[in-house]
Amino acid sequence: MLRGLDAQGSDEDLIVVKVADRPTLEGTTTVYIRTGVSSVVRDRQARVRETFDQLRSAGVLKNVDVVEWPERARTPADTDVEAEAVARYDKFVGLVGAEALEPFFKERSATGADDRVVDLPAICIVHRDDGTPSALYPHWSDGTHHSIEDCTRALCAGDGIRNLRPS
């Protein structure tokens, strides 16, 4: 699909070059970015955003959305943003199981009026084909860690990113 050239010798400075006659990855890729993070995490988020902008500009990815979500979401939700974040988490649990999402996502019982609290990762990437998730980063699967960097590295190298089994 494409070839990634690492001019600086690090994963932080990937250069994306589209290879001719290779198809664009169809579907929609969503990059979830947590708000209220430290400057170090914000820099990492900026690098991921930049990489996905380059991938879209190079024609590697067709559709890329960036969605901000909170550090944590509670149920019952106080806002639509929290409700959507919990719904996404529940969908991810349905796809891979809660254990596969730890320690990136953390769910715990809440006190007071809240039923539960879900801590959300600083970055999460989901690729959907016709609305159905086909890739989720980060998570664990059969002892293999599927990291954010694995996803960006694979896209820049022209490798597939699908890591979810069809249901």
**Gap between the Cα atoms of 7 and 154, Å rounded:** 16
pLDDT on residue 70: 96
Place of tokens 């050239």: 5
- Tell whether the model's pLDDT for residue 126 goes beyond 50: yes
Q: Confidence band (pLDDT; 50, 70, 90) for 9?
A: very low
pLDDT on residue 86: 96
Residue 114's Cβ-count burial label (10 Å; 0-12, 13-18, 19+) is middle
Arithmetic mean of pLDDT over the chain: 88
| Percent of the chain whose predicted confidence (pLDDT) is above 90 | 71
pLDDT on residue 22: 67
pLDDT on residue 122: 98
Higher pLDDT, 32 or 10: 32
CB within 8 Å of 76: residues ≥ 6 apart: 113, 114, 115
- Tell whether the model's pLDDT for residue 34 goes beyond 80: yes
Beta-bridged to residue 5, according to DSSP, are 15
* pTM for this predicted structure: 0.87
pLDDT on residue 24: 84
Helix (H), strand (E) counts: the chain:
4, 11
SS3 166: coil
The single-letter code of the amino acid at 20 is A
Q: For the segment 45-75, what is each residue's pLDDT rounded down to a tens digit?
A: 999 999 999 999 888 899 999 999 999 999 9
Higher pLDDT, 21 or 92: 92
Average pLDDT on 26-54 reads 96
Higher pLDDT, 28 or 9: 28
